[in-house]
Structure 1
């Protein structure tokens, strides 16, 4: 089984989780990264404009995938449409 590592990027900075995680493939590692983001988001939206991210690293510690959750605030036009 391939080994993966996660780096969590949030409003407080970066936390590198050096504990290895074994998953059947990168798809399973991405699913776990999505779960981690969901748990972080459950604690409330970020206090800054930085998106929440989980970087998925492979056995060589090279980032292979970034899973990002971003909160956007968009003001609509007077007619309710989105500005272009």
Structure 2
């Protein structure tokens, strides 16, 4: 599930404006995406008022990625590494696919 540059919008702009709540300062965050196709990072940072808003955006992006195609191999995962303006990791969000079969009932 590779994401192409310029096609990834991690959070609706209207929600970013609402989250900013009139504040002027925004911080730069990068999203490094890990999936079965490899790693993808957008060269341009996303601007959010704070880390919590960036984490909400990453969570929203993971739901969009899962809707696009959950990795079907057992233990497969998609993850977003949220990085600050210095490209230092500040948090990682991950969705992991797990398949467990139930024991058949004995009769």
When the two structures are superposed, what TM-score results if normalisation uses the length of structure 2? Answer: 0.67
Relative contact order (alpha carbons < 8 A, sep ≥ 6): 1 or 2 greater? Answer: 1
1:59 aligns to what? 85
Q: Which runs of 5+ in 1 are unaligned?
A: 80-84
Higher fraction of helix: 2
SS in 2 for 1:78: coil
Size of the aligned set, in residue pairs, is 79
Q: 1:6·1:18 contact (CA, 8 Å) conserved in 2?
A: no
Aligned to 2:28: 3
- Structure 2: runs of 5+ lacking an equivalent: 1-25
Shift of 1:5: 0.3
Q: Which protein has the bigger strand share?
A: 1
